[in-house]
Chain A
Amino acid sequence: MSDGSLMLDGNAAAGVLQEVFVSDATTARGACASCGTIGEVGSQRLYMAPQSPGLVLRCHGCEGVLLVLVRRPGHVRLGLQGFTWLEIAQPDAPA
């Protein structure tokens, strides 16, 4: 791509998201606030530029922004504006 940015799958964000969520977030299911499509994070579209501090996850149904993550030293800013809900498996947690 000419601008050097890159379209990948949500599963490519597994490491970065696991830093925040502790458990694996790519198998989490979420509902898109724009079109209602429900899908696993790993199946969504991930946009990032090499060496950039941020990434954008977009819905594979409507391309609406689901999640924005920006890293800077000592902080992670997480924008979850495009998810109505996100369901993360916690098999070890008490019921």
Chain B
Amino acid sequence: MAGAAVQRRLTWRVAEVAELVDETPRVRSVLMHVPDWPGHLAGQHVDVRLTADDGYQTQRSYSIASPPEAVDRLALTVERIEDGEVSPFLTEELRVGDRIELRGPIGGYFVWDVADGGPLMLVAGGSGVCPLMAMLRHRAARASSVPARLLYSSRSSADAIYGKELERLGGEGVGVVQTLTRMRPDGWAGYRRRIDRSMLQEVVWPPADRPLVYVCGPTPLVESVAEALVELGHDAARIKTERFGPTGG
């Protein structure tokens, strides 16, 4: 699983922005060409470093949303945090052709490769869907038949990231289940509450099927989902979590 992609000294690289995609009013994907990118595993992240004219530097971590197979288009999906230092720049000021510094890939723990098998159960809240999308894109790129489901919580359908692509993946054998916690379109027949234990019981494979579970989102969501899964009888060793808090900035 870990392998060569994580065994090296980290060095800063200069990436060139190739494409910008507005995913929602607050979320933008930044697709970059990174010279000599060493490759990555689905679920890993990068550090992005910005340097101001006066030399002040600040850095943030972002999950990689592109699959390992997209070798020349490294994608980060960034949510704008209103009082943040880095995300307003990345989502509003960055232009195609600009260069930014990044280092990675980083982290070999919260990763999934088709060889790890499944069933693959992904649970996301908000922009926590980004590293999980890298896993689904990797699965699709490899034409893997590992059973996969995504349970995705958003405030509204306008806030749901990768909407069209998730629809398409749904048609390609991924079970995509969305819950909209605050606003629903007319006629919405899906879930309309925060992810809870009974929802997990309905959507997640039973413990006997030993699903590999990846949970990513805000800390309270990750905490409650991981706890409920263990209560439902899932093996804690097969549940991997990635919490993100207000450091996103």
- Residue positions of A touching B, CB distance < 8 A: 1, 6-12, 14-15, 18-19, 22-24, 26-27, 40-43, 48, 50, 89-92
A40 engages B106 (CB within 8 Å): no
Say whether B245 faces chain A, with CB atoms less than 8 Å apart.
yes
Q: In the bound complex, what is the Cα–Cα distance between A7 and B171 (angstroms)?
A: 37
Binds A, one of B107-115, B144-152, B174-182, B204-212: B107-115
Q: In the bound complex, what is the Cα–Cα distance between A27 and B10 (angstroms)?
A: 16
Min CB gap A50→B, angstroms: 5
Specify which chain B residues have a CB less than 8 angstroms from the CB of A41 in the assembled complex: 109
Q: In the bound complex, what is the Cα–Cα distance between A9 and B1 (angstroms)?
A: 19
Specify which chain B residues have a CB less than 8 angstroms from the CB of A8 in the assembled complex: 219, 243-245, 247
B249 engages A50 (CB within 8 Å): yes
Indicate whether A6 sits within 8 Å of B109 (C-beta atoms), given known contacts A24-B2, A92-B7: no
Q: In the bound complex, what is the Cα–Cα distance between A13 and B241 (angstroms)?
A: 14
* 6 nearest CB pairs, A to B: A42-B109, A14-B107, A24-B6, A26-B109, A6-B245, A24-B108
Min CB gap A84→B, angstroms: 20
Q: In the bound complex, what is the Cα–Cα distance between A67 and B78 (angstroms)?
A: 30
Chain B, interface size category, equals 20 to 34
Q: Which of A14, A19, A23 has the most CB of B within 10 A?
A: A14
Say whether B242 faces chain A, with CB atoms less than 8 Å apart.
yes
Say whether B61 faces chain A, with CB atoms less than 8 Å apart.
yes
- Residue positions of B touching A, CB distance < 8 A: 1-4, 6-10, 45, 47, 61, 103-104, 106-110, 219, 240-247, 249
Specify which chain A residues have a CB less than 8 angstroms from the CB of B245 in the assembled complex: 1, 6-8
- Which one of A18, A50, A91 lies within 8 Å of B247 (CB-CB)? A50
Specify which chain B residues have a CB less than 8 angstroms from the CB of A43 in the assembled complex: 109, 240-241
B109 engages A14 (CB within 8 Å): yes
Indicate whether A26 sits within 8 Å of B107 (C-beta atoms), given known contacts A14-B45, A15-B61: yes
B110 engages A42 (CB within 8 Å): yes
A7 engages B219 (CB within 8 Å): yes
Specify which chain A residues have a CB less than 8 angstroms from the CB of B6 in the assembled complex: 18, 23-24, 27
Specify which chain A residues have a CB less than 8 angstroms from the CB of B247 in the assembled complex: 6, 8, 48, 50
Specify which chain A residues have a CB less than 8 angstroms from the CB of B2 in the assembled complex: 24, 27, 89, 91
Q: Tell me the nearest residue of chain B to A5, going by C-beta.
A: B245
B110 engages A91 (CB within 8 Å): no
Specify which chain A residues have a CB less than 8 angstroms from the CB of B108 in the assembled complex: 14, 24, 26-27, 42
